[in-house]
Structure 1
Amino acid sequence: MDIVGISATARYLPKHCILTKDIIEEEGLTPKEVESIATNRVFVAKDEEPTDMAIKAANTAIERANISPEDIDILVYSSSFNDYLRWSDAARVQYEIGAENCYAFTIEQSCNGSMASIDYAFSRLKTDYDINNVLVVSSGKFEQPLINRWKAASANYYGDGASAAILSKRNVKFNILGCNSIADGSFNHLWKIPIGGIAEPATEENVLAGKFKMDCKKTAAEYLSDDIKREQLYSTLVNNNKKVMLDLLNRLDYSMEDIDKVVLYNVGKHVLDKIIQIIGIDEDRTSTYISYEHGHMGTPDILFNLDKMLEDGKFEDNDKIMLFSAGAGFTWSSTLLEYRRGDNA
């Protein structure tokens, strides 16, 4: 069986950024919150939509993989928010980058979208001998009135950006050893835009009433109204954070002691500290430093951080690297990589 892995990664950031210290008074942020999240700045896409950023990240990944757009067999796209409702984002990305020979589609998995895309791509490459190159591309943009990047969640501040990777059977930089995902739908109601769907279509009245927006803090307050529910959520999150990684390691006959680096999604420091404590790894062996300067970009986080850590020289030959992310719903995903610098020098 051919080795399947990541042959190239890429990331994209918009030019404009906002320092957290400059909006504390304007947004009414508390000192305790600012300290616990510890995100110093976020990048903001003023004149770019999610697919605009995705296209730029995708083109860079294709160039770095030394392939042409026509060599791509499948394109998997994920985004925190779409350019338009009920629109094929993936089709636009495919057309704009010239990947005329590939099948393109979107994975809807909230902040866990890129991990679900990696899992899908890995499986197709492993089982289909006609598939040689899969482009995984993700983008995130957070804009009012749909969402307030500073106030929508208690776990993080949101930043804009995009990332991409080419998964293939040749010139592999990161060998994929395995993927694992789990879901627990018991808290599916926590994160949603309450109007605009079939259950409650958008009307002039409910839009003007401010319902067409995502406010995770408000929804959480409504559904987590007592200590029992909050403890149930915390227990679910903590247990599955570790379980999704341990189950994968057990299946591959590894342990946490074998892990050299961990790439995490960019939530706030108070959440990242708990994850690091649970898995028992030193912070300097993780991607947490990236979160402090970019915020949570949603789906792009994992491949963005992998690309940034690679550029920063954080990986050594044969390092075992755990990718971990979670998404609303909830879902948790892990992927184990082996860095192959010696094969790509």
Structure 2
Amino acid sequence: MRWNDIYISGLGKYLPGAVMTAEQAVAEGLYDATENIANGIRAVRIAGPGEAPVEMAAAAARQAVARSGHRPEEFGLVLHAGLGHQGQDYWTPASYVQDHTVGGEGAAIEIRQGSNGGLAGLELAASYVAARPDVTAALVSTADSFHLPYFDRWKTDVQLVYGDGAGAVVLSSRTGFARLVATVSIGDGSFEPLYRGSDAWTPHPFASGKPIDLRARKRDHLLRTEDGYEGAVARMGRHMYEVIERVVAEAATTVGGIDWFVHANLGQTIAQWAFYDQFGIDRARTVYDWGRDLGHMGAGDQLIGFTHLVESGRLSPGDLVLTAGAGIGFMWTAAVLEIIEPPHWT
């Protein structure tokens, strides 16, 4: 989808102050030394008491709203995306973010699209603003934190280390420092069992009393057929390739015409295979090395990374930024943005 008159007017992020390095985690027996070398993630931020995911999201959102210049009454939509527990069970975190940022009577909706939640929210918010002349602005927030005994940030998943943090973006039909040029999303529900595994349904969260084991769920699904692993990896690669090629075509450019690329904070072997080798992307034109000190922050890597890129002062008018991600389910989203002028808050 190519967009007309949809802008990015504000960005925000919140990163907890507490840090644990991968070296510390290995020394304390929390993290495998071999995986540490392969993944290349150096550290993560760890949320403490008083830093529930939605509180971090609201802090990032308030920063984005203040930077946007929009009045609270101009927001017709608040979307909130998170991968895990947001601070309370059986509850509406999107409404919390709305109440603690812009208030008002706009719609407040939660997105559960795993690690693709932030980019899915970006595309949905753009659709909402473009379709409703009475809505000037939309707010998208993301937040996640990962804690034992429910989730082991160092061991629950493979080729990923999970860090805590929040991001937010304001989309506008009126003004902004960047223009949303194009977005593309692709879904493939046949990958749904990959994160569900073969276990029976559970009657309530944390039913086993043990940390979530995503490694076992993936293994159970992929080993059902002889070529399960190789086939899944090949199809996932094709979907990522397709979503990126389609979005740059919608934006009337090529991957070679992109100035900056923002992707999730993955293990470096995945990043190398999925992006740098496949597309010839220059790692120096990403924020990946900065992200190695944060880990994978659930739904928010791309929004947080883009915020950091803008805050770094490295962007110039006319620069094209490509961001892409994938989330369990599976769903892939890519977006191209064009910098109009660096925002005043940099």
Q: TM-score range by the shorter chain?
A: over 0.9
Unaligned runs of 5+ in 1: none
Unaligned runs of 5+ in 2: none
- 1:222 alignment partner AA: D
Structure 1 distance, partners of 2:18, 2:316, is: 33
Give 1:91 deviation, angstroms: 1.0
8 Å contact from structure 1 (residues 114, 302) kept in 2: yes
- 1:105 alignment partner AA: I
Aligned with residue 153 of structure 1, among 157, 166, 186: 157
Structure 1 distance, partners of 2:205, 2:71, is: 46
- 1:9 alignment partner AA: L
Structure 2 distance, partners of 1:245, 1:322, is: 8
Give CA deviations for 1:129-148 in whole Å, capped at 9, x if unaligned.
Answer: 11101001000111112210
**Equivalent residue number for residue 302 of structure 2:** 302
Structure 1 distance, partners of 2:30, 2:79, is: 38
Q: CA RMSD in A?
A: 2.2
Structure 2 distance, partners of 1:166, 1:203, is: 32
Give CA deviations for 1:271-327 in whole Å, capped at 9, x if unaligned.
Answer: 111122112111001121122110000111111000101111232210111110111
**Equivalent residue number for residue 284 of structure 1:** 284
- 2:159 alignment partner AA: A
**Equivalent residue number for residue 243 of structure 2:** 244
Q: Partner of 2:159: helix, strand, or coil? A: coil
**Aligned length in residues:** 339
Aligned with residue 188 of structure 1, among 186, 189, 192: 192
Structure 2 distance, partners of 1:71, 1:28, is: 47
Assess, with a 3 A threshold, how the Cα gap between structure 1 residues 28 and 42 changes in structure 2: closer, same or farther. closer
Give 1:24 deviation, angstroms: 0.5
8 Å contact from structure 1 (residues 70, 98) kept in 2: yes
Give 1:31 deviation, angstroms: 2.9
8 Å contact from structure 1 (residues 142, 158) kept in 2: yes
Give CA deviations for 1:139-158 in whole Å, capped at 9, x if unaligned.
Answer: 01111122100001112100
Q: Partner of 1:202: helix, strand, or coil? A: coil
Q: Partner of 1:146: helix, strand, or coil? A: coil
8 Å contact from structure 1 (residues 261, 286) kept in 2: yes
TM-score (norm 1): 0.92
- 2:307 alignment partner AA: D
TM-score (norm 2): 0.92
Structure 2 distance, partners of 1:343, 1:39, is: 30
- 2:238 alignment partner AA: N
Give CA deviations for 1:88-146 in whole Å, capped at 9, x if unaligned.
Answer: 11111111224223211111111100111100111122222111010010001111122
Structure 1 distance, partners of 2:195, 2:41, is: 22
Percentage of pairs with the same residue: 25
- 1:115 alignment partner AA: L
Pairing 1:77–2:80 present: yes
- 2:76 alignment partner AA: D
**Equivalent residue number for residue 55 of structure 2:** 52
Assess, with a 3 A threshold, how the Cα gap between structure 1 residues 192 and 44 changes in structure 2: closer, same or farther. farther
8 Å contact from structure 1 (residues 71, 99) kept in 2: no
**Equivalent residue number for residue 202 of structure 1:** 204
8 Å contact from structure 2 (residues 151, 212) kept in 1: yes
- 1:120 alignment partner AA: L
**Equivalent residue number for residue 166 of structure 1:** 170
Give 1:72 deviation, angstroms: 1.6
Structure 1 distance, partners of 2:335, 2:37, is: 30
Pairing 1:141–2:154 present: no
Deviates more, 1:183-192 or 1:112-121: 183-192
Structure 1 distance, partners of 2:343, 2:13, is: 23
Structure 1 distance, partners of 2:121, 2:15, is: 21
